[in-house]
C-alpha cells in the first residue's frame, strides 16, 4: 500500500468512497467535504492503483487538523486508516508541529459507527481534550481528540 498526495481523479474516487459511507457522512457533510478537498490537502491510500482510503488535513497555529478520513467498505479494519494516520504523524514531525487534532461525535452521542471511529482514534494515540457544543442548530456536539507529536 502506498500513501500519496491526491490527484484530481483521486479526489473524485475519495468522494465516491465517502458517498458510500452513509453511516458517517450525510449530505451536508459531503458538501463540506467536497469544498475541503479543494481548499486543503488530501492524501490517499492506494493499492494496485485503486484508492482504498483518504485523509484530508490542514495546519493551524502549530498543529495539524485532521478534517476528514474514510476507508472503503470491505477494506476497513485492515490497516488502511492506521497507514494514513501514520503518514500524518510523520508529516507533522517534519513540519515540527506539536499535535494532531480531530473532531468527532462524543461518547454521549451513542451511535455505533462513531463508537468504532473513537475506538480507532484512541487506539492510535489520540486523547479526548475538549467537548464542543454545537454552534449551529441541527449540528451535533463534537469532541476534540488530540495526539501529541514528540
User: What would the mean pLDDT of 33-41 be, rounded to a whole number?
Assistant: 96
Please state, in angstroms and rounded to a whole number, the distance separating the CA atoms of residues 147 and 150.
10
150/17: higher pLDDT = 17
Residues recorded for the chain: 150
Q: Report domain 2-148's class.
A: alpha beta
CB atoms under 10 Å from CB of 127, counted, come to 11
pLDDT, one tens digit per residue, over 67-126 is 999 999 999 999 999 999 999 999 999 999 999 999 999 998 888 888 999 999 999 999
Instruction: Please state, in angstroms and rounded to a whole number, the distance separating the CA atoms of residues 148 and 1.
Output: 26
For the chain, the 3-state helix, strand and coil shares in percent, each to the nearest 5, are: 35, 35, 30
Give the start-to-end residue ranges of the domains of the chain.
2-148
Neighbouring C-beta atoms of residue 88, cutoff 10 Å: 24
Average pLDDT over residues 114-143: 93
Q: What is the pLDDT of residue 136?
A: 86
**Measured between alpha carbons, how far is 23 from 111 in angstroms, rounded to an integer?**
9
What pLDDT, on the 0 to 100 scale, is given for residue 22? Answer: 95
Contact call for residues 55 and 33 (beta carbons, < 8 A) = no
Amino acid at each position: 500500500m502506498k500513501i500519496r498526495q491526491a490527484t484530481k481523479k483521486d479526489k473524485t474516487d475519495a468522494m465516491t468512497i465517502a458517498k458510500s459511507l452513509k453511516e458517517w457522512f450525510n449530505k451536508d457533510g459531503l458538501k463540506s467535504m467536497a469544498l475541503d478537498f479543494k481548499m486543503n490537502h488530501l492524501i490517499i491510500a492506494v493499492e494496485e492503483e485503486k484508492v482504498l482510503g483518504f485523509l484530508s488535513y490542514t495546519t493551524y497555529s502549530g498543529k495539524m487538523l485532521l478534517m476528514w478520513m474514510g476507508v472503503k467498505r470491505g477494506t476497513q479494519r485492515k490497516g488502511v486508516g492506521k497507514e494514513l494516520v501514520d503518514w500524518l504523524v510523520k508529516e507533522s514531525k517534519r513540519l515540527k508541529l506539536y499535535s494532531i487534532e480531530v473532531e468527532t461525535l462524543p461518547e454521549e452521542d451513542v451511535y455505533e459507527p462513531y463508537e468504532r471511529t473513537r475506538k480507532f482514534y484512541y487506539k492510535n494515540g489520540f486523547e479526548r481534550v475538549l467537548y464542543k457544543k454545537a454552534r449551529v442548530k441541527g449540528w451535533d456536539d463534537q469532541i476534540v481528540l488530540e495526539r501529541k507529536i514528540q
